[in-house]
Amino acid sequence: MKKKHQYILYIFWVIFVAVLACNKIEDAQYQKPSEVNALINTSSDNSGNITITPNSNGGISYLINFGDTLNKFYSVLQGYSLNHKYKEGQYVVTIKAYSFDAQVDSITKPITITFNSPQNLVINITKDANLLRNITVSPTADYATAFNVYFGDVANEVPIQINKDSSAKHSYANPGTYKIKVVALSGGSNTLTDSSKSVTITLNQIDLPINFEDPNVYYKTIDFGGDLTVDATDPLNPNNKVKKTTKPSGADTWAGVTIGDTNGLANNLPLTATKTMISVLVYSPAANIPVRLKIENKLNLNQSVETEVLTKSANAWDTLVFDFSKPVSGTPAWSASVPYNKISIFFGFGSAGTGQVFYFDDIKIAANNQVVTTLALPIDFQSSGIDYASKITDFDGGHLTVVANPNSSGINTSTTVAKMIKGPGGQTWGGSYLLVDAPISFTSKIFKMKVYSPRLGAKVLLKFENITTSSINKEVELTTTKVNEWEELSFDFSTIDLSGGKTYQKVVIIIDNGTRGDGTANYTFYLDDIKQN
C-alpha cells in the first residue's frame, strides 16, 4: 500500500513540474540568435572534403547552403556538423541560425578550396610473363586523386583515367619500345606529368606451323603490288583467327603478301629432297584461281622457289598443297643447299586486281605421302584424292573419262587410265582438255604420253594452252605405230613461246584432228602417264 501511495505522489509531481514549466515558457521572451559563426575544417588530401560546425548565441538549429548549388539548404542542430565535398574553386557559404520561436539570423562566409599539386610521381610497370603483349601500369603520387595514362602506341591517343590506388592494363598489337606517359591529377587545375618511362615489347618471331592464334607470336605481314592484308575472323567460324587479303582494282598482276616481317621466319623451312610440300588453307571467292607460293632466302632473294596451284571451290575452305619439287617454269629449282626462311603468297597471280577477297590460315609442312588433291604433271590418273572429272572439259564431240586399264601389260601395268572417245555429231576438232592446278614448268620441253590405239597411223594431238587466252597455245601431233598395245609417244615442244611471262595450264588432247568421230571402237583410245621427259 505504501508503494502505491508513493507512485501516485510521483505522478502528481511530474504533472506539477510540467504545468509550471509551461507557464514559465509563456512568460519568457525568446532571444534572437546572434554572433552566428562556423568552424570549417578543410582536408589537405585533395579530396575536397570539408566539415562545417555552426554555432551562435540563442540558435538551436541551422540551415546551410554550401555555395555550389543554388537555393539548396541542409539542416543541422546546434552542436552537430555537416560534411561536404567540393571541387577546387571559390564559394560563399550561407548559414542561417534559428531560435526556438523561429527567429533567424544569418551570415555568409567565403571559402576557397585549393588542391595541392601532386608530388613524387612514380610509374610502376609490370610486364605479363605469360602474355608478352600485356603490361600493367600502377602509378603513385602524393596529393593525386586520379591519373591519366598514355601507352604511346597510337597517334592522338586518348588516355585511360584511373583513380588513385588503381592500375591500368594494356595489350600492344606490335613489338617495339613505347614511351609511357602518366599525368597525375590533383582534382583541380594542378597536375604533374612524367613521361620518362619506356617499355619494350618483344614477341616471338613467326614460324611454321602458322595458325594466327598464338598471342605471343608477331603475325606481321608485308603487302606488295597493291594487296591489302589484315587480321580477320574466319568467315565460317567466328572463333577462328585468320588473315584476309584483298586484291583491289588496280593491284598488280604480281601483287602478294609476305608472311612475317623483314626478319622472315624464325627458322629455315625443314624441306628435304623427300619432303618438298607446304600446305595452306585457303578460302577463295571462286574456283580455278591461280595461287602461287614462293619461298626465299631472306639474305639472298635471288635464291627462291615458286610453285602454283588452283583454288578448288568457291566460298569454302580448301587445303592447297604446294610442291616445291615442281617449280613454276622460269623460276629456280629447289635446292637442298639453300636456307629458305621467307614465304610469300600471291592470290590471282598473273591477273590484275578486281577487288577479290581471299582468306588464308594453317600454313605448315605437308607430308609428301599425303593424298594429293591438286592436278599437275606427271598425270597418271591414279590418285584417289584428285577429282579428275572436275579437271576434265570435253568439247565438240570429245569425251574423256578415267577407267580401268583395258590391257594392264607391257609398258603400262597401272590400274587406271584415261579413255578418250570421239563421238558422232561433233566437230572434226572434237577433243578434251585437262586443267592443271598450276602453270606447267617447261624445264624440259619434251613431253611423253602412253597411248593405246585401235589402229595404226591414228593421229594424236597434244596441245598446251593458256588458261584464259586460247590464242596462246602450242600443239604437236604424232601418229600411232601400234595396234591394241601400249606405246609411248614423245612430243617435242622446244619451240613453245614462253616470252613475256606466257603460261600454259590446259593440256588438250585431240584424236584424228580433221576427221569427225563416230563413237565406235575405231574412235576409242586409252591414254596414260602424261609427263615431262
pLDDT per residue as tens digits for the range 423-474: 998 999 999 999 998 888 887 899 999 999 999 999 999 999 999 999 999 9
Cα distance between residue 39 and residue 55, in whole Å: 8
Residue 209: asked if its preceding bond is cis (omega within 30°), the reply is yes
Residue 187 pLDDT? 86
Measured CA to CA in angstroms, residue 181 lies from 147, 165, 166, 369, 427 at distances of 10, 17, 16, 56, 79
pLDDT at 405 over 50: yes
Instruction: Provide the pairing of β-strand 256-259 with 300-310.
Output: unpaired
What is the enclosing helix (H) or strand (E) of 440? none
Residue 446 grid cell: 619434251
pLDDT band at 13 (very low <50, low <70, confident <90, very high): very low
pLDDT band at 385 (very low <50, low <70, confident <90, very high): confident
Residue 340 grid cell: 629458305
Cα distance between residue 392 and residue 432, in whole Å: 7
pLDDT at 376 over 90: no
From the list 517, 522, 447, the residue with the least C-alpha distance to 477 is 447
Cα distance between residue 308 and residue 420, in whole Å: 28
Residue 70 pLDDT? 82
Q: What is the mean pLDDT of residues 41-68?
A: 93
From the list 290, 328, 321, 322, the residue with the least C-alpha distance to 306 is 328
3-state SS, residue 73: coil
Residue 373 grid cell: 588433291
Residue 54: asked if its preceding bond is cis (omega within 30°), the reply is no
Instruction: Provide the pairing of β-strand 506-511 with 459-465.
Output: antiparallel
Cα distance between residue 247 and residue 255, in whole Å: 8
How many whole angstroms from its chain centre is CA 97? 68
Cα distance between residue 181 and residue 148, in whole Å: 8
Instruction: 50-56: list long-range contacts, CB under 8 Å, 24+ apart.
Output: 50/83, 50/84, 50/85, 50/86, 50/111, 50/113, 51/81, 51/82, 51/83, 52/81, 52/82, 52/84, 52/93, 52/95, 53/80, 53/81, 54/78, 54/95, 54/97, 56/97, 56/105
160 close to 168: Cβ distance less than 8 angstroms: yes
**Averaged confidence pLDDT in the chain:** 90
CB-based contacts of 222: which residues, under 8 Å, 6+ apart? 257, 258, 260, 261, 262
Cα distance between residue 468 and residue 474, in whole Å: 14
Cα distance between residue 46 and residue 248, in whole Å: 57
Range with the lowest mean pLDDT among 5-14, 223-232, 310-319, 490-499? Answer: 5-14
3-state SS, residue 212: coil
Residue 15 pLDDT? 45
Q: What is the mean pLDDT of residues 10-36?
A: 54
3-state SS, residue 183: strand
pLDDT at 12 over 50: no
Share of the chain above pLDDT 70, in %: 94
pLDDT at 5 over 70: no
Residue 274 pLDDT? 85
Structure confidence by residue, pLDDT tens digits, 345-374: 999 999 999 999 999 999 999 877 566 678
Residue 525 pLDDT? 98
How many whole angstroms from its chain centre is CA 387? 33
Answer positive or negative: Cα dihedral of 52, 55, 59, 65. Answer: negative
Range with the lowest mean pLDDT among 378-392, 396-410, 493-507? Answer: 378-392
Structure confidence by residue, pLDDT tens digits, 183-222: 999 988 888 888 889 999 999 999 999 999 999 999 999 9
Residue 331 pLDDT? 87
Cα distance between residue 306 and residue 328, in whole Å: 6
125 close to 199: Cβ distance less than 8 angstroms: yes
Question: Rg for the chain (alpha carbons), in Å?
Answer: 45
Q: What pTM was estimated for this model as a whole? A: 0.60
Residue 26 pLDDT? 46
Instruction: Provide the pairing of β-strand 134-142 with 61-65.
Output: unpaired
Residue 370 pLDDT? 61
Q: What is the mean pLDDT of residues 121-130?
A: 95
pLDDT at 112 over 70: yes
pLDDT at 87 over 70: yes
From the list 62, 67, 36, the residue with the least C-alpha distance to 50 is 67
Measured CA to CA in angstroms, residue 447 lies from 346, 418, 441, 477 at distances of 28, 17, 11, 12
